[in-house]
Homo-oligomer: A and B are copies of this chain.
Amino acid sequence: MIPGDGIGQEVVAQGLKVLNAVLPADVKLETKEYDLGARRWHRTGETLPDAELDALKTHDAILLGAIGDPSVPSGVLERGLLLKLRFAFDHFINLRPSKLFPNTATPLAGRPDIDFVVVREGTEGPYTGNGGSLRTGTPAEVATEVSVNTAYGVERVVRDAFARAQARPRKKLTLVHKNNVLVFAGHLWKNIFDTVAKEYPDVTTDYLHVDAATIFFVTQPERFDVIVTDNLFGDILTDLAAAVTGGIGLAASGNINPTGAFPSMFEPVHGSAPDIAGQGKADPTATVLSVALLLRHLGYESEAARIEDAVQADLAARDGSARTTDEIGDALAVRVSG
């Protein structure tokens, strides 16, 4: 567990509570907490020392709360801790399901039926840290960011997405990119997508430019089943997806390495929300749903489903009265053990 900053602490505690409640008695859960994030950085200047990276490698999975605080310069913890973990553990599948649960507030009129999953590439694209800045801080500065895309990296995420689409009832996969402008990366993605598609004749495929995709997210989100996309487009689309499906308080994610070579890492999509930290106001549901993804990844399918059913039931029963972080965690723990 890396509770991290702000509400990260509070929501991870609830995730652990529900995890304990859902696990069969004969499964012994061992957890270890890593003190990483803003406080650690202020104390020691460290973001993720090698010793801790090595120690983290020995676990079956990682549950992360949230990383980031306004007191730390932008980029330090994101690049030095969160992205470092995603890259070091080769989390090439960044899995982000979006479902509009009953009784949740969507900003969309008419409550469309939303149930899709974004398979976001997690180890390439503009996230590689390639780039630089010349004559920094002068009127002649040039700053570059390089999006790096490889056939190796694109093919493995595209294959994963096709397999996921095939396993779902609607069997539909949409590639999102911007291949009319980013022609080099875009053509690589499109060519691999079209090639792999031939092996999945029962999967219906579709291509959308990222700008057009945002339109459909608000006008016709029910058209999506599985979406596969690049790291940056996936970042943007999944925040939008969270917003239209009841808010970032419900959005779960998994940074997955399907080969098992390294532990996968599960985290709510939301940030550390320093403005409400420590007040028991955070909704731990996104973290609890991330625990479900964690369990599914480790083969505990029925436990994962029990958590998802519990969340569904809890949301359906909400009457609008405020509950604390702890109360929501308790309610979910009761439901999964019931």
Contacts and interface: CB of A to CB of B under 8 A. Distances in A.
A218 B188 contact: no
A132 B184 contact: yes
A155 B139 contact: yes
Interface string A211-225: 110110111000000
Contact of A126 (B129, B133, B147): B147
Interface in A118-147: 126-127, 129, 131-133, 135, 137-147
A212 B147 CA distance: 21
Kindly report how many copies of this chain are found in the complex they form together: 2
A242 B214 CA distance: 10
A151 B145 contact: no
Interface stretch (A20-28, A51-59, A174-182, A252-260): A174-182
A79 B181 contact: yes
A107 B217 CA distance: 10
A144 B152 contact: no
A140 B151 contact: yes
Given A109-B107, A211-B236, A148 B139 contact: no
B144 A148 contact: yes
Interface in A83-135: 83, 106-110, 126-127, 129, 131-133, 135
B127 A181 contact: yes
A183 interface: yes
Given A179-B74, A218-B243, A236-B211, A147 B133 contact: no
Contacts of A232: 178, 181
Interface residues of A, number: 67
B139 A79 contact: no
A62 B256 CA distance: 49
B243 A126 contact: no
A75 interface: yes
A149 interface: yes
Contacts of A242: 215
Contact of A218 (B142, B143, B190, B218): B218
Interface of A: 68, 74-75, 78-79, 83, 106-110, 126-127, 129, 131-133, 135, 137-152, 155, 178-188, 190-191, 210-212, 214-215, 217-219, 232, 235-236, 238-240, 242-244, 247-248
Given A140-B152, A212-B239, A236-B236, 17 more contacts: A74-B190, A79-B180, A79-B181, A83-B181, A106-B109, A107-B110, A108-B218, A126-B182, A129-B183, A131-B185, A142-B151, A144-B148, A210-B236, A211-B235, A214-B214, A214-B240, A215-B240
28 contacts: A74-B180, A75-B180, A75-B186, A75-B187, A79-B181, A107-B109, A109-B110, A131-B182, A133-B184, A133-B187, A137-B191, A139-B151, A139-B152, A141-B150, A141-B188, A143-B149, A143-B187, A144-B147, A145-B146, A145-B184, A146-B147, A181-B232, A210-B235, A212-B239, A215-B242, A217-B240, A218-B240, A218-B243
